[in-house]
Each structure stands twice: as structure tokens, then as C-alpha cells.
Amino acid sequence: MEDRPVNARFPAARPRRLRRTPALRRLVAETRLHPSELILPMFVKEGIDAPNPVSSMPGVFQHTPDSLRKAAEEAAAAGVGGLILFGIPEAKDERGSAADDPDGVVQKALRDLSSDLGGDIVIMADLCLDEYTSHGHCGLLTPAGEVDNDATLERYASIAVAQAEAGVQVVGPSGMMDGQVAAIRAALDGAGHHEVAILAYAAKYASAFYGPFREAAEGAPQFGDRTGYQQDPANAAEALREVELDVAEGADMVMVKPGLAYLDIVAKVAESCPVPVSAYQVSGEYAMVEAAAEKGWLDRERAIMETLLGFRRAGAAQILTYWAVEAAHMLR
């Protein structure tokens, strides 16, 4: 003891003092999570009579109208802030006709949920064509097999109006067509739906982490990939430009997607964006943790909370996550 140098016995700064007890750590935590900022993505499928488990996403189901309603009620009761619907129609065609059919699978679900849950949880719908087209692309195709941007905008406009008439509160265009937010805003306003908000998938990357989702939503492209319209993972400045354009076109909220591999983008966007910034913890991120936990390779609950906290720390105001309900319970 005596011959230890003085500075080793008395460090001038001891950050550990504030880490000593759970109460101290809680007192000084810089970031907090709350169930109300979580959004649960949900799948509803036409023509099934029991919920269908998604094998690559343990704990996630393709719902029937009944099981959807029950799960939505559970989410609302847990205090989850919002839910976003993805529909899987029975019949697909070249132009994705079921997407804007007033009796399409999502429109029916919206009518059902918004009538009595709309006050308790924000009801959103993904707005895209990939689950509805026979070719699995997010838009209409040119004869050469490329996605036709401007023809697709007309389809998106019509889907937005169909979802609005069915009671959606927020639409989430995810197709990455240029001008999609402006086209949707104009269509909604033209049909008298000024109240419907737009959560723009503004910076959406062409990602391998969407793999399990394509099983869940049955929307894998039948040829090619989405690199002609989704962003290149190499780019960051492009994300800021996409966000700027979407905000100028009338986006009420913007999203960065995927999350974990793009936290730098979340942080950059959150720094300058004048509207709320959400991040989507996508299917592959969910599957990675579930698979590793199943093997006993990591502590599942701690990993879930750590990733969610990471999104908030990076600056995401809302988080879309398949763990929304479970995380809400953990936070209570």
C-alpha cells in the first residue's frame, strides 16, 4: 500500500461511482425507452383459417382477421404506440389489383381495427405493391421488365386513397419510387383525407436483412432484385437527400431502414431532420437475435433491449420492431 504511487490510489476521476447501483444508473441514464414509441409490424393473410407461423421469424405470424384483432388488442393493452399492417392477398396479378381494392385484405383489416382500436393505438399501413404483384416487384413493370416509376405513382396514389377510406391513420410508402410522397399527399388531399399522415420510408437500403420478411409477406421478387430502386448500402449522403426530398414533398415522419447496420444514417438524419425520425429493426435483425438465442449463444432479452436502446441513442424517435409487445412488457 505505502509504496504505491499516489495517483494510482486516488484517480482524479471515478466514472464508476455513478455505475455502482441500479438506482444510480437509473438516475443518470441518458436514454430511455418507452412502449409508446414502439411500432409493431403485423401480417394479415387472406384465405387462411388459422394463424400461420413464419418459420424464419419465431413468434411472428401471418394473421387471420380474428387473430390480427386479438394481437392488435394485446399490443394496445401493452401500451405499444402503433401498428403497421402488411397484407398478403389470395390472388396476385401484374398490377397488384388487390392493393387498392376496397375489399382487399388490408382495407378489410383497417376497417375492422380502426373502428374500435383507433383511439388506443396508431393504425398504420405499409403502402407498396410487392406483396400484391405476381412478379413481386414494388411497382408496375415496363415491357423491358424494369420498374416504371411514374406509372407506379398512380397505383400508390390509388392505394393511399383506398387505405384512407378504410380508416388508416398513417400510410407508410415503402417502394422507393421518386416522387411517391408528393403523389400520395396530392391524392389524399384530393380525396378529402387531409388528416391522414405519411410516414415515408425515406432512406431504404437494398438489404439482405429483409430475407425473413419476404417469407412472412410472400413478396420476394420473382426475377432480379430491388437494387434499381432501393439505396446502395455504400451511400450516406444519398440518404440525406432522400430525406430532404420526402420532407419537401410533405412527409410527416421519415424512416431509416434497416436499423442496426445503418445507425450512422439514423444519427445523421436525426441531427438535421425537422420531422420525427423512425428506424425499422427489420426481419433479419430479429431473426439473427432469435437464432443466436435459440442456440444459447446470447441472452435474448438483454440483446433485444440493447438493440432498442441503440436505436434511441442514435436518435430514432420511434422504432418499428417485431418485439414491440414483448419489449413493452419488459419495460413495464
Q: Rounded CA gap, 38 and 34, in Å?
A: 7
Q: Is 14 annotated among the ligand-binding residues? A: no
Catalytic residue flag (residue 204): yes
Q: How far is the CB of 54 from ligand PBG (least distance, A)?
A: 11
Q: Rounded CA gap, 172 and 198, in Å?
A: 6
From the list 67-75, 126-134, 189-197, 266-274, the region that binds ligand PBG by CB under 6 A is 126-134
Closest CA to 171 of 191, 155, 156: 156
User: Residue 126, interface with ligand PBG (CB under 6 A)?
Assistant: yes
Q: What angle do CA 143, 210, 252 make, to 5 degrees?
A: 85
Can you tell me which of 46, 100, 112, 130 binds ligand PBG, judged by CB under 6 A? 130
Give φ, ψ of 44 to 5 degrees: -125, 130
Closest CA to 94 of 160, 23, 148: 148
Q: Please say which residue, 66 or 206, places its beta carbon nearer to ligand PBG.
A: 206
Give φ, ψ of 264 to 5 degrees: -65, -35
Give the x/- contact pattern for ligand PBG in 80-119, rule: CB under 6 A. Answer: ----------------------------------------
User: Residue 180, interface with ligand PBG (CB under 6 A)?
Assistant: no
Q: How far is the CB of 224 from ligand PBG (least distance, A)?
A: 12
User: Residue 213, interface with ligand PBG (CB under 6 A)?
Assistant: yes
Q: Please say which residue, 213 or 262, places its beta carbon nearer to ligand PBG.
A: 213
142: left (phi over 0), alpha (psi -120 to 50) or beta: beta
Q: Is 283 annotated among the ligand-binding residues? A: yes
Q: How far is the CB of 225 from ligand PBG (least distance, A)?
A: 9
Q: Please say which residue, 128 or 157, places its beta carbon nearer to ligand PBG.
A: 128
Output the CA–CA distances (angstroms, integers) from residue 26 to 22, 30, 54, 75, 307, in the order listed: 6, 9, 37, 26, 18
Q: Is 242 annotated among the ligand-binding residues? A: yes
From the list 70-78, 125-133, 292-300, 324-332, the region that binds ligand PBG by CB under 6 A is 125-133
Q: Please say which residue, 120 or 235, places its beta carbon nearer to ligand PBG.
A: 235
From the list 13-21, 114-122, 124-132, 298-306, the region that binds ligand PBG by CB under 6 A is 124-132
Q: Please say which residue, 18 or 235, places its beta carbon nearer to ligand PBG.
A: 235
Q: Is 214 annotated among the ligand-binding residues? A: yes
Output the CA–CA distances (angstroms, integers) from residue 220 to 70, 107, 135, 155, 247, in the order listed: 28, 22, 8, 19, 29
Task: Give the list of residues 6+ apart from residue 13 with CB closer than 8 angstroms, or none.
Answer: none
Q: Which residue's Cβ has the minimum distance to ligand PBG?
A: 213
Q: Please say which residue, 126 or 246, places its beta carbon nearer to ligand PBG.
A: 126
Q: Is 290 annotated among the ligand-binding residues? A: no
Can you tell me which of 169, 180, 278, 283 binds ligand PBG, judged by CB under 6 A? 283
Catalytic residue flag (residue 257): yes
Cell numbers for 308: 432498442
Can you tell me which of 42, 128, 177, 199 binds ligand PBG, judged by CB under 6 A? 128
Residues 45, 108, 204, 268: which is the catalytic one?
Answer: 204
The contact set with ligand PBG (CB under 6 A) reads 126, 128, 130, 174, 210, 213, 226, 282-283
Task: Please identify every residue annotated as catalytic.
Answer: 204, 257
